[in-house]
C-alpha cells in the first residue's frame, strides 16, 4: 500500500502526464475539427435558413394577383 503524501502522489501523476507525448496528433486534429468544422456547420445552417426565407418570400410575391 502506498502511504505517501496525497499531494506528492498528485504531483508525480501530473508530472508523468506532462511528459507523456502519446495522442498529440489526435489532439491536434480534434482541435482543428473544433475550430473549423463545428463553426462551419452553424454558418451553413444560417445560410440555409436565409435561403429558405428568401425562397418563401419570392414564392409569396409570385402568387399575388397581377394588378
Q: What is the pLDDT of residue 24?
A: 84
Q: Work out the average pLDDT over 46-53.
A: 98
What nine digits make up the cell of 52?
Answer: 429558405
The owner of cell 502506498 is 2
Q: What is the pLDDT of residue 18?
A: 84
- CB contact set of 7 (below 8 Å; sequence gap of 6+): none
Q: Work out the average pLDDT over 55-64.
A: 94
Which pTM does this prediction carry? 0.55
Distance of CA 32 to the CA centre of its chain: 9
Residue 63 main-chain phi, psi, to 5 deg:
-85, -10
Tens of pLDDT, residue by residue over 1-44, are 567 788 899 999 889 888 888 888 898 999 999 999 999 999 99
Could you state, in order of their start, the residue ranges of all structural domains in the chain? 36-61
Contact 9, 2 (CB under 8 A): yes
Q: What is the pLDDT of residue 63?
A: 92
Amino acid at each position: 500500500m502506498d502511504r505517501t503524501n496525497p499531494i506528492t502522489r498528485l504531483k508525480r501523476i501530473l508530472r508523468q502526464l506532462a511528459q507523456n507525448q502519446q495522442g498529440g496528433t489526435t489532439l491536434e486534429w480534434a482541435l482543428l475539427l473544433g475550430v473549423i468544422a463545428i463553426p462551419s456547420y452553424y454558418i451553413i445552417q444560417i445560410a440555409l435558413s436565409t435561403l429558405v426565407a428568401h425562397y418563401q418570400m419570392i414564392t409569396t410575391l409570385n402568387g399575388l394577383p397581377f394588378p
